[in-house]
Amino acid sequence: MENPRAVTTLAGTSAERAIELDPFNARAVAIAGHVKAYLFHDVRGALQLHARATELNPNLPIAWTMSSWSRIYNGEHTTAVRHAMMSQSLSPRDPHIWFVEHALMTAQLFNRNLDEAEMLSEAVLERNPGHVSALNIRLAILGHMGRRDDAKECLALLRQFDPSVTVEKISSRIPLRPEDRVFYIEGLERAGAPR
């Protein structure tokens, strides 16, 4: 993006406007929560919106997926797994199931269930090979598992999207609790990502 700040501002404004137009639209509320958490790093505000979205429509898979992400950011990894699995059970054939599996793999990484996280990362990247966020998480998983050769391949794939990829660039993208950020950074460094 030529102007990331302008795009972020537009996303935030659009998400807020969608809720203003229909405050009972669970999809709009869920997406607004994700925008708030991921782009603006306002996890507390996102948690409130996601609780509202799942209350408005407990049968809406995307509401549970987005709630899973805000729980990850808040360090509630076991709850994040439950919410992602709820989404998966509501829509097992969703063409965007990789986004749900990405939440699951991320929660499992921070739950220290590395084998499960790694298995999920393979599934996600088979469905969506160019998913940079999933590649970032996979790199940390492989680093913690000590799989340097696989980590080199993953890092090479990431460099196709950003030749100057660094631990700092990767780790600053998502809002995490300090202890989760430390664990994430350790995995990335062990995988060979430059500082």
Using the predicted structure, report yes or no on whether residue 27 has a pLDDT greater than 80: yes
Choose the final residue of a domain: 47, 65, 92.
92
Cα distances (angstroms) measured from residue 132 to each of 29, 30, 102, 112, 154: 25, 22, 11, 21, 10
Per-residue pLDDT at 107: 98
Q: What is the CATH number of the domain that holds 34?
A: 1.25.40.10
Burial of 161 (0-12, 13-18, 19+ CB in 10 A): exposed
The DSSP line for 103-120 is: HHHHHHHHTT-HHHHHHH
Whole-model pTM above 0.95?
Answer: no
Is residue 116's pLDDT more than 90? yes
Q: Indicate whether 154 and 99 sit together in one domain.
A: yes
77 with 135, same domain? no
How confident is the model over 164-168, as a mean pLDDT?
Answer: 96
**Domain, as residue range, for 143:** 95-195
